[in-house]
Amino acid sequence: MKRAGRILWWATFIAGALIVQQSIPGIDALTPGFLLSLQERRPRQSFWLFVFFVLIQEGSGSLAFGSALLWYGGQAVLFHVSLRYFVADSLLFVLMLSAALGAYHGFLVWFMCIVQKAPVYFFTLTRESLLQATIIPLIWGLAFFSRPKNSFRTV
Amino acid sequence: MKDQCAAYWRDYLALIDVAEENERLRDDLRRARNYANLVAEDRAELERLRKLLQLEALHERPAFAARVIAWRFGPQAAHNTFTVNKGYLDGAIVGTPVVTNSGVVGRVLRAAPHAATVLMLTDPGFRLAVVSQQSRTPGIVTGSSGEARRLELAYVAQNAQIVPGEVLITSGLDGAFPKGVPVGIVTSVTPGNESLFLQVHAQPLIDHERLEEVLMLRRTGSGPPLLDPLPDPSEMFPPQPPSENGQEPAPSTDGEPAVAQHNGTTRQNAPDADGAFGRSGP
């Protein structure tokens, strides 16, 4: 896949993800794209996506600066830790990672609210964490099957 | 024949009550005019008293409009917020009150140069000092985490006379919102369980989901000055022409001009840019 094609694909993905985020408040629809990029083993592409996603989420959020850094940074760490035990391209891997990220989302928002002395809405937080864990494999599946297979690099 | 009957009915029989109705409407109009005159008189008196007491009228608070450009968005949006197209370069600094013509919307939570995030009144983290309009019961209004369109009024004493249907208005004690802006309507008042306070719930007057434009109130100083600014001493004491031998004129021996010349601050009692006293000049 050529560079221009990759950029066009990612631009389309980001636009679609932002529309999903707009319609479902509190969830991150960009995360499946970041996971997909990590699975493709393209560090440079993942770095730029990381920067771009952090800027978008930090700017639109209401938490103190750093929460998006911890969110996407945590995803990268969780992904690489999980690689030691699972095959990265399998659906089971994505499902387990989604569940873990759903829990991580709840923990991170709770933690950041505590740090900045803001009230925590446990009901909303639990609902959004479950929603986050559910929506990651769905978007990931769409993105995975629409992505050209030669995008993946083998180690 | 049929047309004639219809015309007779329309022009005569159907108009029997018109004279009475006309008289009644004239009475109504007379009463309305009297009422309007009384209101105009009250209004003029209010203006005079405000001027006398140097109170700041609610509608005189400077404000600027902003457009809602985004709603709660993304995983980091943990609070009930929305984004407007005015930032701190436009005057929307953190804490700026946000209202509409119907009542309180929220306040600026954080601001960028040309955009700001507004924390909504319905967020459980929002706090606002209010007072009920009829019984003047004070309390702190806050959002409810359970329902989107429900407010809670905290710290209402058990013996308070507040009743459902009362309008809650801002008390002005927080220093940001002006006094008298509508906030919500009390929907229920129940004795608190094992608490010293009443459980009071209210409904916001604003439909937060349909907001498109809002007003942001600029912070003002302490109001109009208590004293009229003194005239410029240079106007009161015009510079004297140099004497014939070329020497500067000797400073006056009386107090006021000397202060004006040596102090450098020619209007000591005049307010500074913030309208505050005693802080201007070196």
Query: Average pLDDT for residues B174-194, to the nearest whole number?
Result: 86
> Quick one: closest CA in B to A101, which residue?
B75
What pLDDT is stored for residue B168 in this prediction?
93
Please say if the pLDDT value at position B267 is more than 50. Answer: no
Flag whether pLDDT at B245 surpasses 70. no
Residues in chain A with CB shorter than 8 Å from the CB of B71 are 22, 25
Judged by CB atoms closer than 8 Å, whether chains meet at A26 and B70 is answered as no
CATH of domain B60-217: 2.40.10.350
Q: For position A88, what pLDDT does the model report?
A: 73
Q: What is the CA radius of gyration of chain A?
A: 15
Name the range with the highest mean pLDDT among A141-150, B116-125, B203-212, B247-256: B116-125
Considering only CB atoms, A27 lies closest to which of B75, B81, B146, namely: B75
- B-chain residues within 8 Å CB-CB of A28? 74-75
pLDDT at B173: 85
Confidence of residue B256 (pLDDT cuts 50, 70, 90): very low
Torsion sign across C-alpha atoms A39, A43, A44, A46: positive
Quickly state the pLDDT bin for B239 (edges 50, 70, 90).
low
The share of chain B scoring above pLDDT 90, in percent, equals: 26
Give the pLDDT band of residue B54 (cuts 50, 70, 90): low
Q: Do A109 and B73 touch (CB under 8 A)?
A: no
Placement of tokens 């066009």 in the chain = A8
ipTM more than 0.90?
Answer: no
* Higher per-residue confidence, A54 vs B196: A54
| B chain contacts of residue A27, beta-carbon cutoff 8 Å | 74-75
CA–CA gap between residue A37 and residue B92 (Å, rounded): 39
User: Average pLDDT over chain B, rounded to whole?
Assistant: 76
The 8 Å CB, 24+ separation contacts for B87-91 are B87/B111, B87/B112, B87/B113, B87/B114, B87/B115, B87/B116, B88/B112, B88/B113, B88/B116, B89/B113, B89/B114, B90/B64, B90/B66, B90/B114, B91/B64, B91/B216, B91/B218
For B171, list phi and psi in degrees, rounded to 5.
-90, -15
Summarize the confidence of residues B234-241 as an average pLDDT.
56
* Residues of chain A positioned with their CB less than 8 A from the CB of B72: 25-26, 62
Highest mean pLDDT among A44-58, A116-130, B55-69: A44-58
| pLDDT(B29) > 90 | yes
Of A60, A121, A124, the CB nearest to B74: A60
**Of residues B170 and B78, which shows the higher confidence score?**
B170
Pairing of β B182-191 and β B138-143: unpaired
- Average confidence (pLDDT) over A88-112: 89
Q: Apex CA B85: angle with CA B82 and CA B170, to 5°?
A: 55
